[in-house]
A and B are shown apart, each in its own frame.
Chain A
């Protein structure tokens, strides 16, 4: 996915990928967020993810490590933080030139559900989305968005994303390894004795 260079608005390290999604919605942002999980090795090398926004609503997603787009990319990016996040602004017409966008499209609330696990943010995002986006979903109709809480979870793609996550033993082992390191570091730091 080739995006034009945007104007950098924010660059920071956050513990939760909810931040760029909520920030984009608050700002009504047209642009994109680049997310780089701390454990970039989990994304097979160059592990960054991009989420584009139109008027604050997520539109397209892409994971550079796996070179996958759409709902699958969200599965690739769902991992423990912290994340380094950059938020960029683009002109309103910047996405018009992307003619191969359909493969990267996600339902509006799905990033909040998948990355942040935040049904309330997902619901707010769906409310902010144009009706056409909510109705159209990914374009195939299979992962269409709904107004009800967590409606996207009913899409077949979502089920397969959760199952694909659980089938990715390497990624889960990396999550476990990181958690073990944190647990041991914190035991020392907080002196559980």
Chain B
């Protein structure tokens, strides 16, 4: 195990799941990558990864009805752990078990990407940010998105989680993104990894149930995500030490 990242935004609609799978596929070119849909209340990664018919999901694992291994699917060069979408599944799932799931996965993979909830309003929504080594903050160049991204960073740093960097997603030509990114970086502890142009390809990929990098690898958006992944300096860490840390994850002392 090398490192676990939470892909988070604090706000819906920024393209977190598209980003998670795109970063996962790009990182999978050089690492063994596992992607987990940790948005247990509003899962949608399964739809992006062609796994809507998956029989066993993270919900089954979190409710104690399946092993972690049974919820793993090899797709697009990555290991994908989808989450179910039923209310019953969510009700029966014990979010606290996510820690054990991540610890178990950590033993056999280099990079874990946790697709996180679009909110900071519940225990299960915050847990991925608590468990990860670092967060990748997915932003749009709008005031609500930047405001929520700043909140995510503060939550992360309060829990001892670092910031790997920022991905500005769904960027239009005239968003003055250069100035906005530069000003934003003053408030974040990580660099801008990439600015990803708004792209019809991302919507088409979602409809096709395939990650963007599989569906439209030559698109500008895919190239930007490749750049983002290349800009993440994945840190080396001992598997056992990381697994142990997840098993005993604690909240650090308040700063």
Contact = CB atoms under 8 A, between A and B. Distances in A.
Interface of A: 15, 74-75, 78-80, 113-119, 150, 153-154, 159, 161-163, 165-167, 172, 175-176, 179-180, 182-184, 186-187, 190, 192-193
Nearest to B254: A184
B130 interface: yes
Interface stretch (B23-31, B53-61, B67-75, B137-145): B137-145
A69 B125 CA distance: 36
Given A116-B144, A166-B184, A192-B126, 16 more contacts: A78-B147, A80-B147, A113-B142, A117-B11, A117-B145, A159-B174, A163-B179, A165-B143, A166-B183, A166-B186, A166-B187, A179-B150, A179-B158, A190-B126, A192-B159, A192-B250
Contacts, number: 100
Given A78-B144, A153-B172, A162-B180, A187 B158 contact: yes
B175 A159 contact: yes
B13 interface: yes
Contacts of A187: 158-159, 251
29 contacts: A75-B143, A78-B144, A78-B147, A115-B144, A153-B175, A154-B172, A161-B143, A162-B143, A163-B179, A163-B180, A163-B183, A166-B180, A166-B184, A166-B186, A172-B187, A176-B150, A176-B151, A176-B153, A176-B154, A176-B187, A180-B158, A182-B155, A184-B158, A186-B123, A186-B126, A187-B158, A187-B251, A192-B130, A192-B249
A131 B120 CA distance: 38
Contact of B143 (A114, A154, A167, A186): A114
Contacts of B144: 78, 114-117
Contacts of B251: 187, 192-193
Contacts of A15: 121
Interface residues of B, number: 39
Interface of B: 11, 13, 120-121, 123, 126-127, 130, 140-148, 150-151, 153-155, 158-159, 172, 174-176, 179-180, 183-184, 186-187, 249-251, 254-255
Contacts of B153: 176
B180 A183 contact: no
Contacts of A78: 143-144, 147
B146 A162 contact: yes
Given A176-B154, A187-B159, A192-B249, A167 B126 contact: no
Nearest to B198: A150
Nearest to B184: A166
A18 to B, nearest CB: 10
A172 B184 CA distance: 11
B159 A183 contact: yes
Q: Which 5 A-B pairs have the closest CB atoms?
A: A117-B144, A179-B154, A183-B158, A166-B183, A78-B143
Contacts of B180: 159, 162-163, 166
A172 B159 contact: no
B151 A179 contact: yes
B32 to A, nearest CB: 28
Contact of A117 (B13, B121, B174, B183): B13
